[in-house]
A and B are shown apart, each in its own frame.
Chain A
Amino acid sequence: METTDEDLALSAATGDRAAFAALATRVYDRVLRLAWRLTGNRAEAEDLTQDVLMALPAKLRSFRAEARLTTWLYRVVMNAAHDRRRRAAAHGRAADGWGDWEIARQAEISETAEARDWLTTAMAQLALDLRDTLAMVLDGETHAQVAEVLGISEGTVSWRMSEVRKHLRSMKEAEA
């Protein structure tokens, strides 16, 4: 029988190097997928995934057996994504004048503009909190699980999803 994610995580948390390697390999694809949904950008998603994996050893110490690893991991990814967004914003502020940050941002805009299609437009137009919620709901998480990860009420998750639907509908209509 395959060792569960949870057992691997617990072993890794005790310093079991092999367990951690196995776990990291196992979760990489999952984290990348979620990160991609959150960022809508491959390079961003890969960076974010690497951030998460690098933070895992320290964070694993806070993992507890009764939580599903997936749920716990969602939370880690979500927080890393938030940190990253904040850093991006802070960097933007800190940039002297409107120099480097602006240049980088413009480059990023033209880069993403090339790859823009209905999908990325749909995701990019969603407010960040809606995007976070949607990313997890689409992974088949229940509203209750999503609510727990995001630290909001289940009702808020449902409300956000209805906002997402509304948004998608209006986009569809705009296209038609």
Chain B
Amino acid sequence: MTDDLDDLKRALDAGAPIPSAAVKAQALDAAMRAFDAEFENSSQGAVDQPRPTSERPKAGLFRGVKEMFATIPLRGALVGSTALAAVALVALLPVLREGPTGLPDLAVRREVDSDRAQLEKPQAIVVAPSAVTEDSAAGLSLDEAQNLAPQARSAVPQVMGKMAPPSPASEMYSDGASPMVLPAPMPEIVMQPEPNTEAFPDSDENPLKVTAEEPVSTFSVDVDTASYAIVRDSLMNGYLPQPDAVRVEEMVNYFPYAYPAPDGDVPFRATVRVGQTPWNAGTQLVQIGLQGAPVADRPPLNLVFLIDTSGSMSDPDKLPLLKQSFRLMLGQLQPQDQVAIVTYAGSAGQVLAPTFAENRAAILAALDRLDAGGSTAGQAGLQQAYAVAETMATEGEVSRVILATDGDFNVGIHDPDALKDYIATKRDSGVFLNVLGFGRGNLDDATMQALAQNGNGQAAYIDTLGEAQKVLVDQLQGALFPIAGDVKVQVEFNPALVAEYRLIGYETRALRREDFNNDRVDAGDISAGHQVTALYEVTPVGSDARLTDPLRYGAAELSGPADELGFLRLRYKVPGETTSQLIEAPIPAVATDLGQEARFAAAIAGFGQLLKGGAYLGDWGYDDAIALATEARGDDPFGYRQEAVKLMRLAQSLAQ
């Protein structure tokens, strides 16, 4: 034991309360009364078993049913849920019966003979799990009890040990019984991919296409970035992601690139670059970058996160999800935005002083330090959050307090009206309040709404990272709105110059050639400021890297302009319209240096392909990806690219 522990022990021993005679006497008296009551009332038999531990199974069946009755509004639904509960009860009991008891025979006995079960020899104490006592069949005749008594004794410690955690069965069934009231959240993004249980869309890598046979490639833009988060989560947890979980285009699109902004009133601008493929000397990489028109300049944001860190927030869908969500949002902040974090649990405290968003490491470190524990304290937290927000506010900036809670919403002012007035006053001073609910069970939605409305903000419930993305990233700033819908990309390669081509990624986004001009076929949207990057690997005619042999027979004379590698067509709809607009541009045949941005995109594309098996990469490996990404890191104001390099290193170690 260390000195610190010894000190603490000494202090504890010294500080321990001397038992007060009066209190002790009172307690002992109460205990004796309890004793008398216990042995008087239970003289009918020993079947009045205590729960093996007083720890109730969390979300237990009966509590679940009670909650259901308490919250269900409709008669019809009530009938339905009662039936469900009955099914759940029936289904639960057999599991418990043969589950954790050490006495398989005991609880299954059906004879209840109350006379014989009289407790004549009191040491024949029978213990069965509490849930079984709900079943009247759990009785036991005395003879059997006597016979089994020695066994029962030895079995009990086991019972106690095993019953403490909620049995998986009871969890399962109570979940099954509740969706009518509270639909179980369906995470869009599963944070911890389990190799055997998760389903990802089949996505074999796009195959190599021979230009002479199939010159046109069509796909829908994809602005999702979920795959990168899944890959990151897998690697951080120490295993390689499933190949199907890796979508190269989503990994590439996770990163911001410095593409030129569109001029005039077109919603986005395409940038095309052609250069040497990092992993194959005989091929070229065609990078197509789309840059959505930027948001009109928005004022800097001052955000104060007021985070409930009470003990109940420790569930995975609460504080951990909250951390993930804020991580997402952080990426969307501009360097001049400021963030502060105030927590409230047993005591309120400022965890992070106002910090500029560019100092991502400090903010993330503060987030990671958050730990759920203690009871919910409140008023001080809210007041402190507003105080912090006021110190951050400067003329022309937007200040918001973002309250994140699981609805255990004792924010401390005990008159709700006073609380609303308080928030409204603060609103008039320019600080708005947003309320984010996490987790289920005790979410006080109405209060949340009321508070947010009074604070000029919005109330939102966050159950998945996808929802967090929507609420925190897209809506919170109120600045990201779709500027182009159903954006489709079509590239026609010039067979005179390109022998083969391969679209890297976008496997799940492929469109048929004829769908390009069909406005009824849906495709991805681009929001303000969004970027989409697509990469083609093309093999020039005459390159020795060509994988297919030219046809000996029937090869048509290939012709096309010698200065065009291909032709790029883009279709998009202005939001609200049903007819699409067309943008066309030739892809120049001049290979130049890819440039830093395209090289980084290539490094990520290579990384993604390595994770998927790297069929087209040859000897190019993690070392090369790391070197390329490090070299092309650039400014990296938010540290994304640095993180990618870290993930590559992790993957490299894990792949060995």
Residues of A within 8 A of B (CB): 10, 12-15, 17, 20-21, 24-25, 28-29, 32-33, 36-37, 42, 45-46, 49-50, 53-59, 61-62, 64-67, 75-76, 79-80, 82-83, 85, 88-89, 92-93, 95, 97-99, 101-103, 105, 109, 118-119, 122-124, 127-128, 134, 138, 148, 151, 161, 164-165, 168-169, 172
Tell me if B137 counts as interface (CB < 8 A to partner A): no
Interface hits, B353-384 → A, CB 8 Å:
371, 373-378
CA distance A102 to B46 in the complex (A): 43
Tell me if B28 counts as interface (CB < 8 A to partner A): yes
A-B contact pairs, 23 of them (CB 8 A): A13-B123, A24-B28, A46-B20, A57-B34, A61-B49, A61-B127, A64-B153, A64-B156, A66-B157, A82-B55, A83-B54, A83-B55, A88-B375, A89-B312, A89-B376, A92-B408, A93-B410, A98-B409, A98-B412, A98-B413, A119-B8, A127-B373, A169-B4
Tell me if B11 counts as interface (CB < 8 A to partner A): yes
Tell me if B608 counts as interface (CB < 8 A to partner A): no
Establish whether residues B375 and A89, one from each chain, have CB atoms under 8 Å apart when the complex forms. yes
Establish whether residues A32 and B34, one from each chain, have CB atoms under 8 Å apart when the complex forms. no
Known: A21-B32, A99-B414, A151-B165. A49 touches B27 (CB 8 A): yes
CA distance A32 to B20 in the complex (A): 10
Tell me if B593 counts as interface (CB < 8 A to partner A): no
Contact among A17, A36, A93, A169 with B17 in the assembled complex (CB-CB below 8 Å): A36
Establish whether residues B410 and A20, one from each chain, have CB atoms under 8 Å apart when the complex forms. no
Known: A151-B164, A164-B5. A62 touches B20 (CB 8 A): no
Number of B residues near A (Cβ < 8 Å) is 70
Interface hits, B438-460 → A, CB 8 Å:
442
Establish whether residues A57 and B414, one from each chain, have CB atoms under 8 Å apart when the complex forms. no
Establish whether residues B19 and A29, one from each chain, have CB atoms under 8 Å apart when the complex forms. yes
Q: Find chain B residues with CB under 8 A from A122 CB.
A: 8, 11
CA distance A49 to B30 in the complex (A): 11
Establish whether residues A28 and B377, one from each chain, have CB atoms under 8 Å apart when the complex forms. no
Known: A82-B55, A118-B11. A97 touches B373 (CB 8 A): no
Q: Find chain B residues with CB under 8 A from A138 CB.
A: 5, 8-9, 12
Q: Find chain B residues with CB under 8 A from A102 CB.
A: 378, 410, 412, 414
Q: Find chain B residues with CB under 8 A from A169 CB.
A: 4
Contact among A53, A61, A89, A103 with B28 in the assembled complex (CB-CB below 8 Å): A53
Q: Find chain B residues with CB under 8 A from A103 CB.
A: 414
CA distance A133 to B56 in the complex (A): 20
CA distance A118 to B413 in the complex (A): 29
CA distance A42 to B411 in the complex (A): 27
CA distance A24 to B8 in the complex (A): 28
Known: A49-B27, A151-B161. A119 touches B39 (CB 8 A): no
Establish whether residues A58 and B375, one from each chain, have CB atoms under 8 Å apart when the complex forms. no
Establish whether residues A42 and B17, one from each chain, have CB atoms under 8 Å apart when the complex forms. yes
Contact among A10, A53, A62, A134 with B160 in the assembled complex (CB-CB below 8 Å): A62
CA distance A112 to B374 in the complex (A): 15
Q: Find chain A residues with CB under 8 A from B378 CB.
A: 98, 102
Instruction: With A105-B410, A165-B5 given, name 20 new contacts (CB 8 A).
Output: A14-B122, A20-B31, A25-B28, A28-B19, A36-B16, A46-B17, A46-B20, A46-B27, A53-B27, A54-B33, A55-B34, A57-B39, A59-B54, A61-B125, A98-B378, A98-B411, A102-B414, A119-B12, A127-B373, A138-B9
Q: Find chain B residues with CB under 8 A from A67 CB.
A: 157
Q: Find chain B residues with CB under 8 A from A98 CB.
A: 378, 409-416, 419
Q: Find chain B residues with CB under 8 A from A14 CB.
A: 122-123
Q: Find chain B residues with CB under 8 A from A24 CB.
A: 28, 31-32
> Nearest-CB distance from A11 to chain B (Å)?
10
Contact among A37, A59, A172 with B4 in the assembled complex (CB-CB below 8 Å): A172
Which of B12, B34, B35, B52 has most A Cβ within 10 Å?
B35
Establish whether residues A32 and B19, one from each chain, have CB atoms under 8 Å apart when the complex forms. yes
CA distance A92 to B4 in the complex (A): 35
Contact among A36, A50, A105 with B26 in the assembled complex (CB-CB below 8 Å): A50
Q: Find chain A residues with CB under 8 A from B5 CB.
A: 138, 161, 164-165, 168
> Nearest-CB distance from B631 to chain A (Å)?
39
Establish whether residues B27 and A50, one from each chain, have CB atoms under 8 Å apart when the complex forms. yes
CA distance A50 to B50 in the complex (A): 18
Establish whether residues A168 and B4, one from each chain, have CB atoms under 8 Å apart when the complex forms. yes
Interface hits, B29-61 → A, CB 8 Å:
30-39, 46, 49-50, 52-56
> Nearest-CB distance from A47 to chain B (Å)?
9
Contact among B2, B52, B164, B375 with A62 in the assembled complex (CB-CB below 8 Å): B52
Known: A64-B154, A89-B375, A124-B346. A58 touches B38 (CB 8 A): yes
Q: Find chain A residues with CB under 8 A from B39 CB.
A: 15, 57
CA distance A66 to B7 in the complex (A): 34
Q: Find chain A residues with CB under 8 A from B99 CB.
A: none
CA distance A15 to B121 in the complex (A): 11
CA distance A33 to B39 in the complex (A): 28
Q: Find chain B residues with CB under 8 A from A95 CB.
A: 410
> Nearest-CB distance from A122 to chain B (Å)?
6
CA distance A88 to B408 in the complex (A): 12
> Nearest-CB distance from B464 to chain A (Å)?
24
Q: Find chain A residues with CB under 8 A from B2 CB.
A: 165, 168
Q: Find chain A residues with CB under 8 A from B53 CB.
A: 75, 79
> Nearest-CB distance from B146 to chain A (Å)?
14
Establish whether residues A165 and B4, one from each chain, have CB atoms under 8 Å apart when the complex forms. yes
CA distance A83 to B57 in the complex (A): 11
> Nearest-CB distance from A77 to chain B (Å)?
10
Known: A66-B153, A82-B55. A37 touches B12 (CB 8 A): yes
Q: Find chain B residues with CB under 8 A from A80 CB.
A: 54
- Name the residue on B nearest A13 (C-beta): B125
Q: Find chain B residues with CB under 8 A from A10 CB.
A: 123
CA distance A17 to B55 in the complex (A): 27
Q: Find chain B residues with CB under 8 A from A75 CB.
A: 53, 160
Known: A62-B49, A92-B376, A151-B161. A21 touches B408 (CB 8 A): no
Establish whether residues B416 and A97, one from each chain, have CB atoms under 8 Å apart when the complex forms. yes
Establish whether residues A105 and B377, one from each chain, have CB atoms under 8 Å apart when the complex forms. yes
Tell me if B552 counts as interface (CB < 8 A to partner A): no
Tell me if B482 counts as interface (CB < 8 A to partner A): no
Q: Find chain B residues with CB under 8 A from A83 CB.
A: 54-56
Q: Find chain A residues with CB under 8 A from B153 CB.
A: 64-66
- Name the residue on B nearest A15 (C-beta): B39
